[in-house]
């Protein structure tokens, strides 16, 4: 694991538009999240949840020199980590689904930022597929769900990262949740793929 100053420097360079720094930072964040998530999951029992917000914050505290990183850097780090967290969780869910048999359970609640650690793996995969569909018709809403659900960002943090007002972010979140709910319910009834109806309609 790289030192805190190195990680913080990569964050500053990535925010400045350095693509190579962004790629190195993403790889570093992803590896750290996998390590932390794996350690947490080893302690969990079926039915418990993986708190993505806690994981993201733990990785932030471990990797970033807080004396050098400002509010903007913190918010952008969480935005970057949201995407990495998404793939960590989905990878785990795929592994769990491949290791067991059984049908889908109740709908996954989108109001929380906790992800099922074991017995709801199918729901996580259903959400991931619906999110891909959403991002295809509205990249902005897809990005928002990634920030809010997998990264645990607050509405204020998302507004800071995206440059939108908190009111707009909240309105978009309501629209995104409604679209995902319809898509997942429709897909459960018919089998994938999910709805392709525009979330703006």
Question: In this structure, what DSSP letter does residue 43 have?
Answer: T
Which secondary structure element, helix H or strand E, spans residue 144, and what is its range? helix 139-145
Above 80 in pLDDT, residue 9? yes
Range of lowest pLDDT (105-114, 119-128, 129-138) = 105-114
CA distance 157 to 170: 12
Most confident of 11-20, 44-53, 101-110: 11-20
Nearest CA-CA partner of 124 in 135, 112, 115, 132: 115
Q: How many domains does the chain have?
A: 1
Residue 126 resides in a domain? yes
Closest CA to 4 of 72, 94, 85, 66: 66
Alpha-carbon span 15 to 30, nearest angstrom: 18
Tell whether 200 is covered by a domain. no
- Confirm whether 156 is domain-assigned: yes
Tell me which of 117 and 127 has the higher pLDDT: 127
Q: Distance between CA atoms of 183 and 136, rounded to whole angstroms?
A: 13
Does residue 198 fall inside a structural domain? no
- Residues 10/25, Cβ–Cβ less than 8 Å: yes
Task: State how far the Cα of 161 lies from the Cα of 177, in Å rounded to an integer.
Answer: 20
Instruction: Tell me the HSE value of 43 on the side-chain side, using a 13 A CA sphere.
Output: 6
Percent of the chain with pLDDT over 70: 73
What average pLDDT does the segment 67-73 reach?
Answer: 76
Instruction: List own/partner pairs for 133-136 with CB under 8 A and 24 or more apart.
Output: 133/183, 133/193, 133/194, 133/195, 133/196, 134/176, 134/179, 134/180, 134/183, 134/199, 136/196
Under DSSP, the state recorded for 88 is: H
Give yes or no for residue 111 having a pLDDT over 70: no
Confidence check: pLDDT of 39 > 70: yes
Residue 177 lies in a domain: yes
Q: Which of 33-37, 86-90, 197-201 has the lowest mean pLDDT?
A: 197-201
Q: Is residue 195 part of a domain?
A: no
Give a yes or no: residue 179 inside a domain.
Answer: yes
Q: Mean pLDDT throughout 146-160?
A: 86
26 within a domain of the structure (yes/no): yes
CB 146 within 8 A of CB 172: no
Query: Cβ–Cβ contacts within 10 Å for residue 136, how many?
Result: 10
């Amino acid at each position: 694991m790289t030192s805190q100053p190195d990680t913080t420097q990569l964050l500053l360079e990535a925010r400045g538009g350095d693509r190579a720094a962004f790629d190195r930072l993403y790889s570093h964040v992803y590896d750290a999240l996998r390590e932390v998530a794996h350690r947490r999951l080893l302690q969990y029992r079926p039915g418990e949840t993986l708190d993505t917000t806690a994981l993201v914050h733990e990785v932030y505290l471990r990797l970033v020199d807080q004396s050098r990183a400002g509010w903007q850097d913190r918010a952008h780090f969480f935005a970057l980590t949201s995407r990495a967290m998404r793939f960590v969780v989905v990878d785990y869910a795929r592994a769990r689904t491949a290791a067991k048999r059984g049908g889908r359970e109740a709908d996954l609640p989108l109001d929380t930022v906790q992800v099922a650690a074991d017995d709801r793996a199918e729901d996580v995969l259903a959400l991931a597929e619906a999110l891909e569909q959403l991002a295809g018709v509205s990249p902005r809403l897809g990005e928002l769900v990634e920030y809010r659900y997998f990264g645990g960002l607050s509405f204020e943090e998302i507004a800071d990262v995206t440059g939108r007002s908190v009111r707009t972010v909240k309105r978009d979140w309501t629209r995104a949740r409604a679209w995902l709910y319809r898509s997942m319910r429709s897909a459960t009834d018919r089998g994938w793929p999910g709805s392709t109806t525009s979330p703006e309609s």
